[in-house]
Amino acid sequence: MILNKTRFKKSDFILPQDIFAAGTDTSPITIEWALAELINHPNIMEKARAEIDNVVGRSRLVEEADIVNLPYLQAVVKESLRLHPTGPLIVRESTEECTINGYQIPAGTRLFVNVWAIGRDPNHWEMPLEFSPERFVISEEREKGKAVDVRGQHFQMLPFGSGRRRCPGTSLALQLVHTTLAAMIQCFEWRVNGGNGTVNMEEGQGITLPRANPLICVPVVRLNPLPLY
């Protein structure tokens, strides 16, 4: 049998616990970072909320099918993934010897791709440390080539990796993050420290880039009754 003639490594397999555990914290962390950025930038929050009100209205809850018609919300998520990728380091292994920027990389070398640094590289991004979803908004004034994709086709932004080993849950994660964040924007106003405070954006320790401090804020209902049905 072919199986008996093939030598497999442990890294060639995806274990069941990897499938169930890999996406349990990354999507919530992304939503938490995005909401924190929106609280700290109320003008961006209002712009995203106005788009949802214009497209969805205030008589029903936003749905997955609405996301395609919410380009500014998509830009907000992209910008959050650029600044706060939940996979800040991608692990790869070189298949053959090569030279990169004068450094000789032997075959079989374990490599770490710094996705966090790539997303903040001033060689690729204007004002890289500023939270600005407008950089992803396509208009008549902007070139179509600036429509950066998050699925690994543009190497200046790789929140889900790239190639055959990119995140297999990309589509599910994007559906979950967009829809959940949109519902939180649509249904509530979010206040910190009595409504006048800002959120601490310090990063914590961990392979999924968690926040150093939990996001503690007060949701204030803005739709009465809530359009849950």
Q: pLDDT tens-digit profile of 86-125?
A: 889 888 888 899 998 898 999 999 988 899 999 999 999 9
Mean pLDDT, residues 194-207 taken together: 84
Angle (CA) 74-79-81 rounded to 5° is: 95
Return d(Cα 179, Cα 82) in angstroms, integer.
19
Return d(Cα 136, Cα 76) in angstroms, integer.
8
Assess contact for 212 and 203: CB atoms under 8 A: yes
Task: Assess if CATH 3.40.50.12780 describes domain 23-221.
Answer: no
Place of tokens 């950066």: 148
First-to-last C-alpha distance (Å) of the chain: 56
- Each residue's pLDDT tens digit, 147-198: 788 888 888 898 888 888 788 878 888 999 999 999 999 999 999 876 667 8
Residue 72: closest CA among 53, 40, 47, 39: 47
Q: What per-residue confidence (pLDDT) applies to 8?
A: 41
The domain locations on the chain are: 23-221
